[in-house]
Amino acid sequence: MRPASLVKVLPAALVVAVLVYLPYLPIELPGVLPGRVNGPGSLQLLATCLVIAGVALSYDVLFGRTGLLSFGHALFVAAGSYLLTISLADWSLPLPVAIVVSLATTTLLALVVGGIALRVSGIAFAMVTLAFAQAASIIVMRNPGGVTGGEEGKSLNRSAVPDLLVGVAHAPYRYWLALGFVVVSFVAVTLLVRSRAGHAMAAIRENEARAAVLGFDTYRVKLLAIVVGAFLGGLGGVVHALVLGGSSPHVTTTEFTLALLIMVVLGGAGSTWGALLGGFLYTYADARLVELSGAGFADALPDVAQQVLAEPLFVLGLFFIVIVYFAPAGLTGLGGRLVRRGRAT
């Protein structure tokens, strides 16, 4: 391996090594995690953050890498999640077969949705993807035949899942499963970006008309981006269902896709680390702000401050505005700028 390549790989390997070791740390971080680092509550929170971070990375393949503003990415995440739980609970399929069915169907769905939506561009493309996602959300909420569970969601058939992924005592294994999903997504996106298809996606993002003149089949490249993003998003939906013990109707909503867009912009669109960082921090803040608002120290704050803390979306919205205003390239862009400034001095 070349020295330059080794320098790029070492930080990622170090981060993964630290994350793998977390379930062995019996220390407490007051105010940061709910209990010990290796406690069930903390590991469940971290696993959820990791899964959503991986899903945010799948959305970045469309938005950050190819410049496709889609409002329907939740459709593919929901497809992976619900197809898994339905396959296990209603079709009595073995887990490996259920995963294959979920991912294959999600990929086919991406080909259909992408093939139709890409007939238009810009805002029209966004609206078409939104229409597909809204239709799927309505179907899930109406619970046809009782297969989706409606507003209560669909529980996982625990008897069809390995014992290592069930129960409070096995929280570390669900955490490692979520971490494995992030690693797979990171490697897949990294290889895609370095490939000829990835270069074509970057060209389309910068100037689609020029990319077409250079000989790129822009329709196929954009369809490939949708399919790859949908596959990784569907895989995220599968892991999300296994980690949380079922499918939630929240992942079918437009709000979820908009949250993914915010995550990518916060971390840095077009940056692999940025999408992961934005997804992790957004999910962590969303989960912890409500809990912190009920903590003892919040009682000493004014009523207005307590009410603000009780509304995570409001706090996250303010943070988003600050980041967009002062760091348009996201947190990773800001970090890179500070590093370069430090070296210059």
**Residue 155: φ, ψ to 5°:** -75, 150
Residues forming a β-bridge with 155: 246
Q: pLDDT tens digit string along 287-315?
A: 887 676 555 555 566 676 666 666 667 77
**Low-confidence winner among 128-137, 213-222, 287-296 (lowest mean pLDDT):** 287-296
Alpha-carbon gap, residue 294 to 299, rounded angstroms: 8
Q: pLDDT tens digit string along 230-261?
A: 999 999 999 999 999 999 999 999 889 999 99
What pLDDT is stored for residue 238 in this prediction? 98
Residue 263's alpha-carbon distances to 97, 127, 137, 303, in angstroms, are 32, 20, 21, 29
What pLDDT is stored for residue 325 in this prediction? 81
- Helix runs in the chain, H state only: 3-21, 40-66, 73-89, 95-117, 123-142, 171-194, 196-206, 208-213, 218-244, 254-267, 272-293, 303-309, 312-326, 330-344
Indicate the pTM of the whole model. 0.92
More confident residue, 155 or 322: 155
Two tokens, residue 245 = 């013990």
Q: pLDDT tens digit string along 190-203?
A: 999 999 999 999 99
**Low-confidence winner among 59-68, 75-84, 105-114, 157-166 (lowest mean pLDDT):** 157-166
